[in-house]
Amino acid sequence: MDTPIQAKSLLKTLPLQIADQLAESITVGELEAGARLRETELAAMYAVSRATIRESLRLLELRGLVCIQPQRGAHVTQLSAKELYDLFAIRASLLSTASRLAAEHCTPKEAAELRARLANLQANVDSTSDYVQGSADLINYITSMADNEILATYVRDLAQRIGRYVRMGLSTLERRQRSVALWKETIGAIIAGDSERASANHFKLALQNRDAALKGFEAAKTAD
């Protein structure tokens, strides 16, 4: 009895696994805004059925990364200043709350881990991709420290949808240097147990990234 159940469970996760891989390709820009996602090509690429791909695309549509239209198929969603602004408004509130909760009960072990992750972030300031990943790792760890599963779910759900904008806001070395300076203050406040300062700093960090992303978005529109 166990084997069929396990196999069925694995099959259920396949569309999700493919959706996550496609989401990563969209976030890093390998699949650009407006790109067509053809079921037949994706099915051949992943060696799965078109039905599996169709379900993966539906999952991506729910995440706001893909738009599916009758007769036109699936396309990567276009970026917009309104969506950027709205997403960062939510992100700023969620992350400031996470940092506040993390500061309220930060242990010495967690403090050491925060310092290590911050050092990794600083070491990767010259690389956009590595810096974005290091920032995401810090956010995930702080969220886990907050010990609030509902908050963690919201943060995870938002992460991929906002990912393209986050990269846009961290695309220059000068921007990443400003970011890491504010990260130092935020981590220092969490370790010191200063929940209000930790919350305010992380809120500022998110809005700083928002403003840089808006600037990059407008520059890209002008260039087009």
> For residue 176, is pLDDT > 80?
yes
pLDDT digits (tens, 9 = 90+) for 56-82: 999 999 999 999 998 889 999 999 999
> For residue 2, is pLDDT > 60?
no
Same domain, 87 and 50: no
**Range 186-198 average pLDDT:** 98
Q: Among 76, 105, 139, give the residue marking a domain's end.
A: 76
pLDDT digits (tens, 9 = 90+) for 78-128: 999 999 999 999 999 999 999 999 999 999 999 999 999 999 999 999 999
| pLDDT at position 220 | 77
Same domain, 29 and 51: yes
Same domain, 59 and 13: yes
| pLDDT at position 12 | 57
SS (H, E, C) the chain: CHHHHHHHHHHHHHHHHHHHHHHHHHHCCCCCCCCEECHHHHHHHHCCCHHHHHHHHHHHHHCCCEEEECCCEEEECCCCHHHHHHHHHHHHHHHHHHHHHHHHCCCHHHHHHHHHHHHHHHHCCCCHHHHHHHHHHHHHHHHHHHCCHHHHHHHHHHHHHHHHHHHHHCCCHHHHHHHHHHHHHHHHHHHHCCHHHHHHHHHHHHHHHHHHHHHHHHHHHHHC
**Range 171-197 average pLDDT:** 97
Same domain, 52 and 108: no
CATH number at residue 185: 1.20.120.530
| pLDDT at position 224 | 60
CATH number at residue 46: 1.10.10.10
| pLDDT at position 6 | 44
Q: Which domain does 219 fall in, by range? A: 81-223
Same domain, 70 and 89: no
pLDDT digits (tens, 9 = 90+) for 5-51: 344 444 458 999 999 999 999 988 899 999 999 999 999 999 999 99
> For residue 3, is pLDDT > 70?
no
Domain count, the chain: 2
